[in-house]
Structure 1
């Protein structure tokens, strides 16, 4: 059987008791290490699990999954996922491959906390979130703005938008590849400030008010850990905020932000007076 096990958000201790029991008995243990990362390293995980862990990068999972699924029809294989197993479509694809295998490989999923639910720590109601969007690193030649339309759809309904920020782990250096060498770039993790800055850049181009400077937003970092950070303010303020090490996410607040949400979130504000002024002028009474 292939066990797809959620690890939670922070460290080795966030795994469930059921998950840990399976990990310690499995024939092989893989850690998917490119859609998200834990705040601890591989060695710390192995010490806690008492088992060696095989790092499964994008190439292995997407192009060489047969090596992961080998003997899974007769042995137990543990596939570990940061957060919740099905927060990324990659893991749905792996489960589908198990169904299509000849003979089919039985699977079992063990859920855990993910950013999709942990973001409730901001005080924003999970019932009033719309579509989740992703923000990728802009380059000189590639500045995708598809997120803007989906944020606009959420904004039109008064809903909050969770923005998942780009991470680059074991990404090939394209210039080196062009010269026939396989070289990987250093890992990069987008910050709340970078995300807010890119949103403001696209707003300057599109000009529809979806991601304006005075839009209220909440930045989060390392949710679930002992040093988690939550900072609220306008997008302009968050573009200059430093929330420390990764992982970061951002929430753009919807206009239906309830008074109880405002009362909770304002405690995290960069400038509480400004936060209150913007909320009362643009958000109060919209819900």
Structure 2
């Protein structure tokens, strides 16, 4: 059995009771560490809470070499942990398909996802979101342009955009870094992003939500990671009022 368990947004207390029961019953516990991370805890705290080792999986372990996970699931109960929800912002459809092809039973224990949390934190209506995108760190001789094209398409359709920010081994993209990248792309395109919404540490006791111009976002103190951006479309009056009340618009 291979069980995908979403850990939620921020710390050890975010996992559901159903998810915790699955962890307690597991013979092997794996943690996918590259798409999202719980910033309110660490590996040692997880192992103490769960009472068993937690094996860290990198991207290549999941996408290219999942054999050890699948082999363990053929003979025992394996739990595959992810931040958020396993099949939303941290999608792992491929490994579930591979398991099914090998006759391995699977199930999903869902967790709170940033995809829905942003709606509650910034008040933008969930049915008005279009395709999401990610902003990676630029590399030598490469500057990412795809996310801006997604934002433009959503804006044309009057849809909001969730913009996921790059997570690397030892650094996390900040809202100010992402805004600077998007502002460079918008200047090259001859267009303008009029409004940003920045969210930091969703799911924590004190998340930060600030809405405003690029200049305001770059100067704002969002604090420690994880950060995420939303590019709103034309605001509904209720959305605008919510942002003024809870996001300093």
Give the TM-score, by structure 1 length. 0.83
Structure 2 counterparts to residues 147-162 of structure 1, below 5 A: 147-162=147-162
- 1:251 is aligned to 230
- 2:113 is aligned to 114
Structure 2 counterparts to residues 1-287 of structure 1, below 5 A: 1-39=1-39, 40-88=41-89, 91-101=92-102, 104-120=103-119, 121-169=121-169, 187-209=170-192, 211=193, 215-255=194-234, 257-269=235-247, 275=249
Tell me the secondary structure at the aligned position of residue 250 of structure 1. Answer: strand
Q: C-alpha separation between the residues in 1 aligned to 2:203 and 2:245?
A: 18
Q: Is the contact made by 2:2 and 2:73 (CA closer than 8 Å) also made in structure 1?
A: yes
Q: C-alpha separation between the residues in 2 aligned to 1:27 and 1:234?
A: 50
Q: C-alpha separation between the residues in 1 aligned to 2:201 and 2:91?
A: 23
Shift in Å, 1:141: 1.6
Shift in Å, 1:50: 1.6
Q: C-alpha separation between the residues in 1 aligned to 2:65 and 2:89?
A: 18
Q: C-alpha separation between the residues in 2 aligned to 1:32 and 1:264?
A: 35
Shift in Å, 1:269: 4.6
Q: C-alpha separation between the residues in 2 aligned to 1:67 and 1:32?
A: 14
Cα RMSD for the two superposed structures: 1.4
Tell me the secondary structure at the aligned position of residue 168 of structure 1. Answer: coil
Tell me the secondary structure at the aligned position of residue 37 of structure 1. Answer: coil
Q: Is the contact made by 1:192 and 1:241 (CA closer than 8 Å) also made in structure 2?
A: no
Shift in Å, 1:140: 4.2
Q: Is the contact made by 1:193 and 1:242 (CA closer than 8 Å) also made in structure 2?
A: no
Tell me the secondary structure at the aligned position of residue 130 of structure 1. Answer: coil
Shift in Å, 1:88: 4.7
Q: C-alpha separation between the residues in 2 aligned to 1:87 and 1:9?
A: 13
Shift in Å, 1:58: 1.4
Largest Rg, 1 or 2: 1
Higher relative contact order (CA 8 A, sep 6+): 2
Q: C-alpha separation between the residues in 1 aligned to 2:110 and 2:23?
A: 14
Q: C-alpha separation between the residues in 1 aligned to 2:155 and 2:171?
A: 30
Q: Is the contact made by 2:89 and 2:113 (CA closer than 8 Å) also made in structure 1?
A: no
Shift in Å, 1:239: 2.2
Shift in Å, 1:71: 3.4
Q: C-alpha separation between the residues in 1 aligned to 2:197 and 2:89?
A: 23
Pair 19,89 (structure 1): closer, same or farther in 2 beyond 3 Å:
closer
Shift in Å, 1:89: 6.5
Cα deviations by residue, 1:195-250 (Å, 9 ceiling, x for unpaired): 111110111111133x3xxx111100110111211111112211222201110000
